[in-house]
Amino acid sequence: MYACICHGVHDQEVRECIRAGAHTEDAIGDACEAGTGCGNCRERLADMIENYFASEPAAAAA
Ligand code: FES
């Protein structure tokens, strides 16, 4: 599934960016361009960041 249609970025790719340290929508945009087009997916990116920290509490403390 695409997380960002404008740049054809898959949700898996976004999750990898988040895991690698992109913890804001802007940081994800810098890492893989998701969210830097129309902006419609930015809310989805924010949800993905939230889900990442919810599923990996240890990462939030890092
Ligand atoms: S769908 Fe991601 S910027 Fe347009």
Domain that holds residue 7: 2-61
Q: What is the CATH number of the domain that holds 46?
A: 1.10.10.1100
How many Å lie between the centroid of ligand 1 and the Cα of residue 37? 5
* pLDDT exceeds cutoff 90 at 61: no
- DSSP structure string for 2-58: EEETTTTEEHHHHHHHHHTT--SHHHHHHHH-TTSSSSTTHHHHHHHHHHHHHH-HH
Query: According to the model, what pLDDT value does residue 56 have?
Result: 79
The three-state secondary structure class of 9 is: strand
Residue 2 vs residue 57, higher pLDDT: 2
For ligand 1, atom 4, name the residue with the nearest CA.
38
Number of domains in the chain: 1
Instruction: Give the C-alpha distances (Å, rounded to integers) separating 13 from 32, 51, 61.
Output: 8, 15, 23
What pTM was computed for the model? 0.89
Q: How far is the CA of 29 from the centre of ligand 1 (A)?
A: 10
> 1-55 pLDDT, tens per residue?
999 999 999 999 999 999 999 999 999 999 999 999 999 999 999 999 999 999 8
| Residue 8, ligand 1, Cβ within 6 A | no
The predicted pLDDT at position 34 comes to 98
